[in-house]
Amino acid sequence: MFTNIAPRRFVFSIILISAFIGITLFNLSEADKLFAAIQQQLSDGLGWLIILLANGFLVFVIYLAFSKHKNLTLGGPDAKPEFSNVNWIAMLFSAGLGVGLLFYGVAEPVLHFSSDSIHENAASFSDKANLAMNLSYLHWGFHGWAIYGVVGLCFAYFTYNRNLPFRVSSFFSGRLTQNIWGRVSLDVIAIIATIFGIATSLGLGANQINSGLGYMEVLEESFISTVGIVIVITLMGLVSVVLGLKVGIKRLSQLNIILCAILLSIIFLGGPTSYILDGLVQNIGSYLQNLLSLSTNTQGYLDSSWQNGWTLYYYSWWFAWSPFVGLFIARISYGRTIQEFLIGAVLVPSSIVFLWMGVFGNAALYQEFIEPNSLATAINNDIAVSLFVFLEQFPFSQFLMGLAIVIILTFFVTSSDSGALVTSMLTAAKKENTKDEPPMILRIIWAISLGVIAIVLLAGGGIGALQTSVIVTGVPFAILVTFAARSLLKNLNQ
């Protein structure tokens, strides 16, 4: 049962994760303060580096997509795609976004709009709304997907074209990787980043489901209820991960896309449609026009607390998720060319995000325009309830709230089972057939671990602890990805 497990990577990761859980549970009263202090120090000291790296990866993706290597097929000239374009994009979207898009889809544009930290005193409603949408696009658009694209391409190229295992250590050569513990250390960094990145999304999703059910007066909102939700979803994720990639994850991803399309269509057609369309056109044009200034703004001459809590948090979250999403994208992208891979992994999901944020964000801003501060006040009081306060203004609001909870639930399960699958692949022994499923025992262990860590983070500091965990794990992996991109380009040019 344990013969297909890489013992050093598995045991070392479990020890580090167990140590974190033990230390946090031992002193819950101080954990919140510690998490906040760590986040502050990393953001203040390394914010410039995180922003620089995120921009660098976007430039790198654009270069590779149109370079002389664009027609290289992942898997060799005779390799054929394993999944159709529709299923491929559905799985990209579901794994790459998780519950975050539903958690922040309404809340973020409104919070940016109502923030005094980023607007001039004389700013008009139009200027504030446009900047709010531009920042939302910045945080969810090209930069994050470019990070996923670079990591995913590294996994795919070194595994399918160089016949190396699905591991971060496969990206590198030289003195460090000649030593077994050097390779193990690189892989463990990726495993820890993956675990905490996904646990953050699970914690956000559980909070939102709990808040939604509480708002609908179906379930009393409490920490115990949140824990119960995490446990139930973890068990559902276990079932899906046992079914495997082609049954569980594929079918759930298809369901995610269908349900999201239904909810998006209802909001678009049932809301201020003309207002949304006007906003979409203006937002996208303004975002593209101001992309350079938006993406390089470090708030160097201002109080950086807003930047730390938003842009740096998001970029770190993308980096923390990148080993998970990157490996998952690589696993489902056999037979794609480099150009097809990068366009599919960066441009297509970003376009879907712009549409989603444009519809929900502009519909939410319209509510603020009609009744100033009503939605903003509710969101500032409890960000987890934002989507449900927003949906309450629509006809058949109870149905829409129920549909939203089901979507969050399916995203939650997809993130859990995809994360367990990927972490299992990172800790499995090398196989000759890279498309084989990892050992069942590993998938079960990691699915349970994700739920446990989400609960511990929520107990140790709530959403603040979740944010800190992705910054702490995302920053070191961001540096690793820089060297991985250099290694990829070097190998492609050989």
Joined together, the tokens standing for residue 179 give 């030593």
Q: How far apart are CA 44 and CA 42, in angstroms?
A: 6
pLDDT for 433 equals 46
Spell out the SS3 assignment of 119-136: CCCCCCHHHHHHHHHHHH
Distances (CA, A) of 168 to 10, 91, 156, 254, 488: 14, 22, 11, 29, 12
CA nearest to 39, candidates 299, 300, 304: 304
Q: How far apart are CA 287 and CA 290, in angstroms?
A: 5
Residues 6+ apart with CB under 8 A from 402: 216
Domain boundaries 7-492, CATH class: mainly alpha
Q: ∠494-92-168 over CA atoms, to 5°?
A: 40
Tens of pLDDT, residue by residue, the chain (494 residues): 455 777 888 888 888 878 777 776 676 666 666 766 776 777 677 778 888 999 999 999 999 999 999 999 999 888 888 888 888 887 777 666 666 777 788 999 999 998 887 877 667 888 899 999 999 999 998 999 999 999 999 999 999 998 888 888 888 876 666 777 778 888 888 888 777 777 777 777 777 788 888 888 777 778 888 888 888 877 777 776 666 555 556 677 778 788 888 999 999 999 899 999 999 999 999 999 999 999 888 776 676 677 777 888 788 878 877 887 888 888 889 999 999 999 988 988 888 889 999 999 999 999 998 888 788 888 888 888 888 899 998 988 889 999 988 888 887 777 777 777 778 878 877 654 455 667 777 878 887 887 887 777 677 655 665 566 666 777 778 888 898 899 999 999 87
